[in-house]
Structure formats: C-alpha cells, structure tokens
Structure 1
Amino acid sequence: MGYYRLQPRAFSPVYLTDLAGQILASPYLAINNLNRDFVATRGFSVVFTRAGLATVRRRFPFFGSYLDLALVEECNAFYLNPLLLEENSRVDPHIDRSLRSYCKTIEPPFAVSVLYVQVPTDLEGGELVLSRARRPVGRIRPEINLLVHFQGDLTHAVERMRVCGRRLSLVCEQYQLDEEQLAQIPEFVIESRAAVRRGGY
C-alpha cells in the first residue's frame, strides 16, 4: 500500500447521499466521544469484531456497502466512527489506538480507511496530513466519494476547517489481534455521548 492509497469514486452518488442522511439523522450523533485531539467535532463509534459484523450490518445497514469495500480480510477487530467537522473543527496529530480502552497491549491498527461523505465545495483547511517520525509523507485534500487507506501507525491530523459547511467522513481503524487480545474486545458495542440507549443490545 505504501504510506497510503486512494480510491476515487468509490461508491454511487445515491449510496453516498443515503449514507450522509442516515449518519446525520442518527440518534447516536453527538459531541465526539473520542479524545481531546478531536476539537469541536461530532460523531459516534462502533466497536466490533469479525464475529460481530452481522450485528453491525443489522443495526446499521447503511454501513454495509462501505464495510464490503473497506474491510481488510486479514483484520479481525474494528473501530468504526463517523466524524463530522464544521467551521473551526480540527483534529490534532495522533496515532490511532482506540481499542486500547479494552486491551492495554494493543498496538496501532494495521490500516485506517476514511471515506469522505460530504465536503464543502469551497473547502479551506480540513486536509488530512500524514507523517512518520515528524516527516510529512502525505497531504490529502478531501473530495466527496474519495476512499483513503493509510498505514495505521502513521501520525495523522486534520487541519482546522476555515469555512462553513460539513466535512463528514466515515473512518474505520482495522486491527490484527492475537487470540488473547481479541478476547478482550467486545463483539459489538456502540460508544456515544448521546442520551440514548447504548451498548450491544
């Protein structure tokens, strides 16, 4: 894959429109449950393993086509989250380890996949910046219907959005865990700050 790989025009416009509508209407969408690197962003997260994939499809059928295309066959645990940035939102530099709240020994994911679902036509800022050991290795300008796959151990950030509008992406961290690690990951659970019923039921 190199540091990253791009898949433009990954889905039909009809699917993308439906996906955006479903995410934005979700009762789970709220101030982000992610860490302080995610400044003024909104979203929610779905943690699952291969064994929980059928449950994800049943609970969130609109994620189905994305999962069909994006998931790496060799990976067995996943952290999926819609990520909404608006004016002045940003994501500070970090390396993903979102499953570490369940298993402290987890290393960064094998890969991270990002689909841009909505992007302002007059976008300023909001670029995805990839680096390794403080050396830039990629700068990706979001485009609607662009699917990006990058190495999970890269430091990455999203520059501050400097315009009104929505930058909506669907992000999936994909992990290759051993049996002991995998046993600590929920088969399916929803993480959200919204005042709705949460968990795997």
Structure 2
Amino acid sequence: MYKTTKAGFCIKKDFLSAQELLELNGEISSCDLLGSCELGEGENGEPCKGEGLGVIFKKDKLLEVYEKLPSLKPLLDKCLKEKCNIFYFCAIKLQDQGAIAPHFDDNLPKYCDEVHGSDRELPPKPYCTSLFYANVPKEIKGGALFFPSSTLNLTPASNLFVEFGDLEHSVSPIEAPKGSFRLSMALEQYKYLSTDLELFPDVLFIKG
C-alpha cells in the first residue's frame, strides 16, 4: 500500500547563490531541449502555450541528469526528498498572457497511461511538488500562484523556492513586454513501489 502522507508547505527566498542562479538561467534558457509546449488550459479555456523541457529520472540516475544539465545540481541537491525515488522535472518559459487553470500535478501517472495503458494503478498525485522561480523580470506583471483550497496566493520573484505538497494550484495571467519571459522550474517528487518503478525509464529527457 502507498502511504498518503504529504510534505508540508514552505517558502524560501534567495534559495541559490547569485552565481548558481546565473548559471542555471543561462543553461536552461538556451538549452536545446527547450521546445514549444501546451501547459494545460488558461483561464479562458484556451490552451496555455509556452516553451519547456522535461526530465523523468530515478534517484539512482541523478548523475546522468547532472551530466546533461550541470547547473541543476545546486537546485536539486537542496530540494530532493530522501523518501522519494522517482521525479519529473520541468522548466517553463512563460511570455505575455500565459496563464494556467487550476490543476493537480500528475505527469508521471499521465506518462504511464500513455505508454502502458490505464490499467496500471498509480497514486494520482506526487508526494510533493517543488517550484522554483529562476527568472522573474520586474517588468513582468501578474503570474501569481493561487491555491483554490485556501486563501493563500503567492507573488513570484526571482530566486524564490516554494514547496506545496500535492495541492491544487493555478497561475494567473502574465503581462510581459515583448521579448520578456518568466522562467520557472517544477519538480514533482514521487514515492513508488519497486514494481511500479519498472514502468518508467531510468532517465528520459523530453523536448517541449
């Protein structure tokens, strides 16, 4: 049986050093894995489009992730949960009018359904989701993080780390000058049984 205990909520400012943040922004924003993607529905029901990249990886293959994307090491080393054993990381560039409707993170269960069919039962939500705002230019307005189950909302800022268990969340519309973008990164952390881990690749880099 899977345990249902989830991680709590926390916010940390100045999560990385200035040099670590600079290297992370530079590598991810210019990475050849970045590609066009749909990020679910926006507030008006239309698809929210942006650029993104994804990585599925098991804990014992973390070094392979660092070989491809070395700037991730300071970030992941600080936020990976010891009890979790498989992860979905994504980086997202949002530009003007980008918004994401209320949703639960569930990228690994979705991947399993697409590859193996829906007859395999996995926990529908991660143990926790960690979110890091890598670059939020001051000229960008909006893009607040909302939690429908509470009155809490969070204004994004560069170098801000947030962890919120498995809560439903949404992103309000962004107003950005032409050429400006917001870069954020999400890490879904899962705790799966060994038999379920076999359903996933050790490491998979996903463009878009």
TM-score bracket relative to the smaller structure: 0.7 to 0.9
Deviation at 1:136, TM superposition (A): 2.6
- Listed one character per residue, the Cα deviations across residues 137-164 of structure 1 (whole Å, up to 9, x for unaligned) are 4211111111101112x11111110222
CA distance in 2, matches of 1:190, 1:93: 26
Identify which of 95, 119, 125 aligns with 2:142.
125
CA distance in 1, matches of 2:8, 2:76: 21
Provide TM-score, normalisation by structure 2: 0.84
CA contact (8 A) 2:39 2:50 kept: no
Partner of 2:58: 49
| 1:1-201 correspondence to structure 2 within 5 Å | 4-32=9-37, 35-36=40-41, 39-100=48-109, 101-102=111-112, 104=118, 105-106=121-122, 107-131=124-148, 135-152=149-166, 154-164=167-177, 165-193=180-208
Aligned identity (percent) is 26
CA contact (8 A) 1:33 1:191 kept: no
Provide TM-score, normalisation by structure 1: 0.87
Structure 2, gaps ≥5 residues long: 1-5
Whichever residue aligns with residue 17 of structure 1, its letter is: L
Structure 1, gaps ≥5 residues long: 194-201
Deviation at 1:182, TM superposition (A): 1.2
Do the aligned partners of residues 179 and 33 (structure 1) sit closer, same or farther apart at CA in structure 2, a change above 3 Å counting? farther
Deviation at 1:9, TM superposition (A): 0.7
Q: Pairwise CA RMSD of aligned residues?
A: 1.8
CA contact (8 A) 2:39 2:100 kept: no
- Listed one character per residue, the Cα deviations across residues 9-30 of structure 1 (whole Å, up to 9, x for unaligned) are 1111111111111011101111
